[in-house]
Structure 1
Amino acid sequence: MARDDPRGRTMEMRTVRETRVTLPDLDDDLDEVDSLEGEHGKLRDFRYVDAGLRELALSGTQLVDGCVTGLITQRARLDDLSLHSVEFSGCDLSGLRWVDSQLSRVIFTGCKLLGAVWENVTLGDVVFERCKLDYTAFTRLRAIGSVIFIGCSLQEARFVGSDLSGVAFDGCDLHLTEFDGGTYRDCDLRGNDLSGLRGVSRLKKIIIDRPQLQGLAQALAADLEISVG
């Protein structure tokens, strides 16, 4: 789906039911770079491709209008980053630690973020599509704009003290995904199997379909350790 912005340019959108995310708007002639550090802490109009790193450490950096493709790193720490209009595709950032950062108009496609730690990260117009997010810990994650998870695996992931108001999940694996505290008003969980959720009693004012009530009841019974005679 696309729409025009006030400048007459077409903006690509990703839509899950009523939730719409504006995707990055990138030029075709991006400059290929060999580092994400940038000059004076800012990198713009860039393409970072097929890098294999033992360690990636970025702090106080702005990434604007760029794409990161095929990045593999054994260890990554991202701190105090500001990202706007950035694409991540086919990256393996398992074990990533991402803290105190802001992401807007960012999409992650086909990325592995197994066992990652996200802490105090703010999201607006962000998409996770076909990503592996198993065992990931999201602590004080805050959605200030549209955020959607499409076809992602979130097995045994944990959301702690997060604000997922208005966030949409669609076709995701939520087996043993735990919600611990936080705000979930209008969080859209339609189109997902809810029977394996944990922390169901904290999911106040979420949106589901009627057929999902049975799965939600199963999850609640498991949380309360109810035995059915």
Structure 2
Amino acid sequence: MSRRPSWLYEGARVLDPAEDREGIVQFIGDWEDPKTRRFIPEAVFLRPEGGGVTGRTSSTRRHRGGPAAARGHPTPTTRSTMAIRTFGHATITLPELDEPGLYLSNVDSLDSSRGTIQDFAYGDADLRSLDLAQTQLVTGRIASMRAKRVELEAVNLHGVEITGSDLGSARWTGSKLTRVHIRDCKLMGAALDSLVLDDVLFEDCKFDFATFEKVRATGPVAFIGCVLTEATFTDCELSDSVFTDCTLRLTEFGTGRYRNTDLRENDLSAIRGVANLAKVRIDPGQQSDLAEALVSELDITVGDD
């Protein structure tokens, strides 16, 4: 059970007594120091007031007004680099990267000897390959990136937006995505294995022939306007996730957990694995879709003779 105090949360304004500075909590979560390989549960990263480079702090203290309040000035209000969007019963918290005071530095590569890239902007790149491992991408934007070969292992994203990019048949394994927005991207034939998703929105993406294996939703997850033709979900935990206005032609839902998964506003007549979708949520009009899908899957012949 977490022993984190109630006043310490992402977006809160706190004091770092070790550095004698104030900052906004940008990220709280498990973190591995890339140099020492020491694992730190619930590490806290602060962004200085007014912008700057995010850094990890070893201790924090609740802000109680600070020098500004002591001089009789009002305490600055907390700023949060987050945006809220709701789809069905899922309310997703996403990064707000255009907030005044947040400065993203342009980087030429997503690879770092330190293992962590923070407050970054990367894009308009044509790559032969993108090969990353044991990397943390914290607060940043990736746009218009195209890569012929993508291998991502233990690449964790927090507060990251990926737009207009072609990741091809990416292989992405053993990673956690938190407060991530992936929009208008191609991951056709991608293999997504053992990913943990928390506050993740896939919007207008193409996942044709992609495989999702042991993908686990620990927080709100939504697929909105995505194409998942002949995509396969195997041993996934997608309870409470949302699929809306998606193309699910020959999409296969294998064994897994889909309790309260919202499949409304989709054509379900050509999906596979209907028997595995126990306790999902559908519209009344979609009952005939599921019946049609089941008849097709079981190769049942319907006739009068």
TM-score bracket relative to the smaller structure? over 0.9
Q: Which of residues 224, 234, 242 is equivalent to 1:168?
A: 242
- CA shift at 1:225, angstroms? 1.1
Q: Does 2:182 match 1:111?
A: no
CA-to-partner distance for each residue in 1:180-199, whole Å, 9 max, x for gaps? Answer: 10000010000100001000
Q: Equivalents in 1 of 2:79, 2:241: separation in Å? A: 26
Checking the alignment, whether the CA contact within 8 Å between 1:186 and 1:207 is kept in structure 2 is: yes
Amino acid of the structure 2 residue aligned with 1:9: R
SS in 2 for 1:132: coil
SS in 2 for 1:187: coil
Amino acid of the structure 2 residue aligned with 1:20: T
Q: Equivalents in 2 of 1:188, 1:201: separation in Å? A: 16
Q: Equivalents in 1 of 2:171, 2:194: separation in Å? A: 11
Q: Equivalents in 1 of 2:218, 2:200: separation in Å? A: 10
- CA shift at 1:6, angstroms? 5.5
Amino acid of the structure 2 residue aligned with 1:147: V
Q: Equivalents in 1 of 2:276, 2:269: separation in Å? A: 15
1:216: which partner in 2?
290
CA-to-partner distance for each residue in 1:135-159, whole Å, 9 max, x for gaps? Answer: 0000001000000000000000000
Checking the alignment, whether the CA contact within 8 Å between 1:25 and 1:65 is kept in structure 2 is: no
1:206: which partner in 2?
280
TM-score w.r.t. the length of structure 1 is 0.95
CA-to-partner distance for each residue in 1:113-166, whole Å, 9 max, x for gaps? Answer: 000000001100000000011100000010000000000000000000100101
Q: Equivalents in 1 of 2:172, 2:186: separation in Å? A: 14
Q: Does 2:79 match 1:9?
A: yes
Using the aligned pairs only, state the percent identity.
Answer: 46
1:21: which partner in 2?
92
Amino acid of the structure 2 residue aligned with 1:118: L
Amino acid of the structure 2 residue aligned with 1:89: T
Q: CA RMSD in A?
A: 1.3
Which residues of structure 2 form unaligned runs of 5+? 1-9, 14-77
Amino acid of the structure 2 residue aligned with 1:120: S
SS in 2 for 1:133: coil
SS in 1 for 2:254: strand
SS in 2 for 1:201: helix
Q: Equivalents in 1 of 2:289, 2:12: separation in Å? A: 44
Alignment of 1:77-156 (within 5 A): 77-156=151-230
Which structure's relative contact order is higher, taking Cα pairs within 8 Å and 6+ residues apart? 1
- CA shift at 1:30, angstroms? 0.4
TM-score w.r.t. the length of structure 2 is 0.72
Q: Which of residues 137, 142, 158 is equivalent to 1:68?
A: 142
How many equivalent residue pairs? 226
Amino acid of the structure 1 residue aligned with 2:148: Q
SS in 2 for 1:44: strand
Q: Rg bigger for which structure?
A: 2
